[in-house]
Amino acid sequence: MLRRTAGVLLLTVALAACDSSPDTSGPLPDGTGLVAAARSSIDAWHSVRFDFTVSGTIPGLDVRDVKGQASRDGRASGQADVQQSTNRFQLTFLMDSSTLYLTDQHGARKQEPLPADYNPVLLLGSARGLPRLLGDATGLKTETREDVKGVETYRVTGELARDVVSTVLPQIQSDVDVKFWVTQREPRELVRVWMQVPPRQPNEGAVMLELALSDVNAPMTTAPPG
């Protein structure tokens, strides 16, 4: 269980709800350019705070909510709400470049070596993670302006192919619709991502995944438990 939970915690970095009604007045900038600029901005990110939520069920993706902070140098910390079968519980996690520390809601601690494929650096790296999603999205179109928790943004819609999404979330094996929220101010920065995973069977509903990003390059103060 620990390894699968570690993978989910590291490969998902949730989105805040929009705070105002969409504004489609006036000309809107090109979606492809906005997303490309947001992708370039990530090159300067050393750390980021994230909040990830899942509305629905995806086999192998046990988390309902994960929030915390991750850094390019391989550290991460935060809290996770985990659903396994009929059991739902909370975990506090901390990762350094080589070790995963988990503390359950009763205070029991566990630790194990961190699998190389689950290093937090992958979230900000170009081959996998956010830059890959931004760089390989297709059909990009700017839909509107929106306020996201006090940040003025442009909302851009598009699509992601299965082979792109699965590099970040291997549990998703289908094409998905995606929306990116990019700051109106420059440098353009990604502040929100939304994905809709189509139903696997006719009697199932679509699954929504949301990711919010904030506090770019804020200091990381995590340290392994004593």
Mean pLDDT comparison of 128-137, 147-156, 163-172, highest-scoring range: 147-156
Rounded to 5 degrees, what angle do the CA atoms 199, 155, 184 make?
155
Mean pLDDT calculated for residue range 200-226: 80
pLDDT of 14 above 50: no
What is the per-residue pLDDT for 17?
A: 30
Quote the pTM value. 0.83
pLDDT tier at 5 (50, 70, 90 boundaries)? very low
Q: What is the DSSP string of 54-87?
A: EES-BTTB-EEEEEEEEETTS-EEEEEEEEETTE
CATH 2.50.20.20 is the classification of domain 2-214: yes
Contact between 216 and 187 under an 8 Å Cβ cutoff? The reply is no
Cβ contacts of residue 107 below 8 Å, gap of 6+? Answer: none
Q: pLDDT: is 136 or 115 the higher one?
A: 136
Extents of the domains making up the chain: 2-214
CA 160: distance to chain centroid?
14
* 133 secondary structure, DSSP code: H
What is the per-residue pLDDT for 13?
A: 34
What is the per-residue pLDDT for 3?
A: 43
